[in-house]
Structure 1
């Protein structure tokens, strides 16, 4: 669970959403012809969803849960750290426009991959950093980029991101989808999520969709 005053404020809002019957789980879209899918966990999925959706070639990003044991977990169950899941984003992208390697780079710059089992004020294994791979080639790309970023000394510490084979992804409740854009005045978004998105924009400017390149 986000252990911060900002998170407490957010939860009052989310409780209102649930009361209004908006807590249904999101639906996974069909993979379009020629599309590929990638999954990453990098702290709160509100920021990750926005950051990855701003990249050229990315069609959709779904917030959800992966890397755990429990089937169809709820947000509250994941936040308890008892299911083993991490907040994860599933990305539907066109590999002719953006490569898996560029997605991986953006992922590593959209959060701090040197923080073990937390991201900023968000504490617990549900906020751990994980890069999921579907093929041996994707695993090799992940390991090579981790080596490159570590060697570049971009971060003051070594990357602790888990590199795991993809198994299953469960979409999160509907109120988590596109949360960043829907709640631009939210205090948590502005204090925690926005700096992550802005960092990714700075590091991956050439990969951004045109509308985000001058933000």
Structure 2
């Protein structure tokens, strides 16, 4: 017992230290000045995290005006994160998507509506059975206008459901593109068991309740 107690104390010390470091790093990220991504060939970019990026990528690509959805990592403090590192939950990053869209066809406002309509808005640190900080929900803003849109919609939804909304709101800093094999995963691997049993049902639930005029006829 005498040998066990010191080990427990050491474990608790390092656990508390790690939590303090994580909190400090998180505060730095949350309080950072947002980075605004300029238009490129008339296309804008937006960033969202909502569980597995395979699911989120497919959801956004079903929306009119969205030209491309790219899987990656954002919201953390680690440079050049990998899928393996992200899965430890120690990078601070969440699986995220970069949405390339035509603002003349679809607005950031609508993209935020897509975000809230395509997830369990009350689940903390995950979606469904995908659990952990790497699967947490985050909406990234690039300027104060976007921030106010997000906060207003989040507050309205919270009042409507009479519950706390889990999504965090972060100033956008940087998006790290995921490994090539993650890109367009749902489209390229339709028979994968996760895609069949999780991604596609989640996509279909979203499409069933979102305005049809805002969705592409074929996805």
TM-score range with shorter-chain normalisation? Answer: 0.7 to 0.9
**Equivalence for 1:59:** 67
Distance of 1:31 and 1:193 partners within structure 2: 30
RMSD: 1.5
Give the ranges of 4+ consecutive aligned residues of structure 1 lying more than 6 Å apart after TM superposition. none
CA distance 1:47–1:106, shift in 2 (3 Å): same
> Of 113, 121, 133, which aligns to 2:121?
113
Equivalent residue, structure 1, for 2:167: 161
Q: Does the alignment pair 1:177 with 2:183?
A: yes
- How big is each residue's C-alpha offset from its partner over 1:91-135, in whole Å with a ceiling of 9 and x where there is no partner? 010111001010001011112121111211111100000000001
Name the CA distance, whole Å, in 1 between partners of 2:83 and 2:62: 25
Ranges in structure 1 where 5+ consecutive residues have no aligned partner = 1-29
State the partner residue of 2:155: 147
Q: 1:211 aligns with which of 193, 199, 218?
A: 218
Q: Specify the SS of the correspondent of 2:138.
A: strand
Q: Distance in 1 between matches of 2:152 and 2:122?
A: 16
Q: Give the TM-score normalised by the residue count of structure 2.
A: 0.79
Question: Runs of 5+ in structure 2 lacking a partner?
Answer: 1-37
Task: Say which one has the larger Rg.
Answer: 2
Contact 1:101/1:141, CA 8 A, preserved across alignment: yes
Of 191, 197, 201, which residue of structure 1 is paired with 2:207?
201
Q: Give the count of matched residue pairs.
A: 181
Match of 1:190 in 2: 196
Distance 2:208 2:156 in 1: 18
Q: What aligned pairs does 1:32-51 form with structure 2 within 5 A after superposition?
A: 32-51=40-59
